């Protein structure tokens, strides 16, 4: 059982001992820390916070605890009930709220849950703000409201519909053009809130929807991370139904993966590539992804005359870099689409609509579209080190060894070679170096990773 405290929130497994897992006491403590920080940060006497959750089994329990804690601090709560991460992000500014909390462990299995924390813009807190909240949680120095000053709860379950309307109103989305194509799409909602939101959006766009695991019971029918090894059912159903493609989302609907018409994975890395291809074809500009994302985005961006920039891993870092470079689209290679014309958060509803527009404009099949993009292959490995080894010193030595290459040290060590790249990152919790490589064949990616692992071992003397 596990409890992970980080600047982006608190995440853990349900049950077990306080402080070691996400127990009711831990949920209350971190909700109180967030509410206490928000009072100080906003400088207001009366605050409003938007709360929504995915469909996981512990969601209602955790939500009741968090909502009651905020009410106890004198905060007004807008309860969206079953929702998605991007829906809560959109709701915060629309409600003129001071912040938001999303109760979801994203792609983690059903025993996990988490509190993801937002600011008044509906964006994730930065590192400094997150650190203050962790410090408050350690001190447990909370000042709760007296009885006449308790907060209140307003329920509003219409925000998924509001979110869909926001997507349909985006200037690059032509609903009539999509409707004329009469697409047929299979949707795997992993029995969470994507099973509500994605089919609703598709039906508004005139798409024939075949629903698979779209009942939001929280009983995930497979590992909820949208990876190839977990998605055999939808791959088979796309072929059986003769669908144009399939859509897979994670439980909180901020990661988006497509299945091509031939039942093969389109590739999570290529979700962003395809959406960027459409946006850049309509709006000239720049793009951003994190250092561990595919080089294919850079290729597509330069093809359209834009400039690509890389950010440290983590959504908040990508958003910061997007704002710095005025990027028109960005995200992460795990299927996270960030489209600033909507909001600065990963959004599978926006990504779905952009992809449908691309298919409506280009014609042909999804498999043909995938074949038209630069083809890259990734390898993801790790090396376990002994606790006494200085991981930072090892990474510095690797950076020094390759100082004549195109190198970045903003997040570990990223080395860009002409034909491939390697990204080395250390774990924050254990003596591990993660090795990500990309090349033009799987064999080349694996060979590069193995070669770098050998070099790290030589540097470390193991």
How many whole angstroms from its chain centre is CA 224?
Answer: 13
Picking from 179, 156, 5, 153, the residue whose alpha carbon sits closest to that of residue 81 is: 156
Instruction: Based on the residue annotation, tell me whether 106 is a catalytic residue of this protein.
Output: yes
Q: Which residues pair with 219 in a beta bridge?
A: none
Which H/E stretch holds residue 437? strand 432-439
Could you identify the residue written with the tokens 């897979």? 248
Tell me which of 33, 58, 83, 106 is the catalytic residue: 106
Sign of the dihedral defined by the CA atoms of residues 322, 326, 331, 332, in that order: negative
Which token pair is 40? 């100080």
- How many other CB atoms are found less than 10 A from the CB of residue 423? 24
Q: What is the DSSP string of 106-122?
A: TTS-TTEEEEEEE-TTS
Q: How far apart are CA 342 and CA 320, in angstroms?
A: 16
Question: Residue 410: what are its φ and ψ, rounded to 5°?
Answer: -75, -20
- Any idea what the Cα angle at residue 233 is, between residues 230 and 236, rounded to 5°? 125
What is the residue-wise DSSP string for 202-247?
A: HHHTT-EEEEES-S-SS--SS-SS--GGG-HHHHHHHHHTT-SEEE
Which one, of 290, 243, 294, 237, lies nearest residue 271 by Cα?
294
Neighbours of 46 (CB within 10 A): 12
Residue reference for tokens 């032509």: 174
Q: Distance between CA 30 and CA 68 in Å, rounded? A: 13
Helix (H, G, I), strand (E, B) or coil at 362: helix
Token pair in block for residue 194: 């994507």
| DSSP character at residue 147 | G
| Residues annotated catalytic, as ranges | 106
């Amino acid at each position: 059982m596990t409890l992970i405290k980080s600047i982006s929130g608190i995440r853990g497994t349900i049950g077990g001992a306080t402080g070691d897992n996400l127990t009711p006491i831990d949920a209350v403590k971190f909700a109180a820390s967030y509410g206490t920080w928000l009072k100080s940060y906003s400088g207001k006497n009366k605050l409003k916070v938007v709360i929504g959750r995915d469909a996981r089994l512990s969601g209602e329990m955790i939500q009741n605890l968090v909502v009651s804690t905020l009410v106890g601090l004198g905060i007004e709560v807008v309860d969206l009930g079953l929702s998605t991460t991007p829906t809560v992000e959109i709701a915060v500014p629309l409600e003129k709220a001071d912040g938001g909390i999303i109760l979801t462990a994203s792609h983690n299995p059903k025993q996990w849950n988490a509190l993801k924390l937002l600011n008044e813009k509906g964006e994730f807190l930065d590192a400094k703000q997150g650190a203050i909240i962790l410090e408050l949680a350690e001190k447990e120095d909370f000042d709760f409201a007296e009885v006449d000053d308790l907060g209140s709860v307003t329920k509003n379950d219409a925000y998924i519909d509001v979110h869909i309307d926001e997507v349909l109103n985006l200037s690059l989305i032509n609903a009539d053009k999509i409707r004329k194509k009469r697409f047929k799409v299979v949707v795997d909602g992993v029995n969470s809130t994507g099973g509500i939101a994605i089919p609703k959006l598709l039906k508004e766009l005139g798409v024939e929807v075949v629903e698979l695991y779209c009942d939001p019971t929280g009983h995930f029918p497979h590992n909820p991370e949208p990876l190839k090894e977990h998605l055999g059912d939808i791959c088979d159903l796309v072929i059986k139904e003769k669908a144009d493609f399939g859509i897979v989302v994670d439980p909180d609907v901020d990661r988006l993966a497509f299945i091509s018409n031939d039942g093969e994975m389109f590739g999570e890395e290529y979700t962003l590539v395809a959406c960027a291809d459409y946006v850049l074809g309509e709006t000239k500009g720049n793009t951003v992804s994190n250092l561990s994302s595919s080089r294919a985005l850079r290729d597509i961006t330069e093809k359209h005359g834009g400039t690509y920039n890389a950010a440290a891993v983590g959504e908040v870092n990508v958003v910061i870099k997007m704002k710095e470079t005025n990027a028109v689209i960005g995200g992460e290679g795990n299927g996270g689409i960030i489209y600033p014309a909507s909001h600065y958060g990963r959004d599978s509803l926006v990504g779905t609509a952009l992809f449908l527009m691309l298919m409506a404009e280009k014609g042909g099949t999804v498999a043909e579209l995938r074949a038209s993009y630069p083809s890259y292959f990734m390898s993801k490995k790790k090396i376990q080190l002994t606790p006494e080894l200085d991981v930072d010193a090892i990474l510095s030595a690797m950076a020094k060894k390759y100082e004549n290459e195109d190198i970045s040290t903003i997040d570990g060590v990223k080395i860009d070679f002409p034909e491939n790249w390697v990204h080395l990152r250390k774990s924050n919790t254990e003596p591990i170096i993660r090795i990500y490589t990309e090349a033009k064949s799987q064999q080349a990616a694996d060979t590069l990773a193995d070669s770098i692992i050998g070099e790290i071992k030589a540097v470390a003397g193991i």
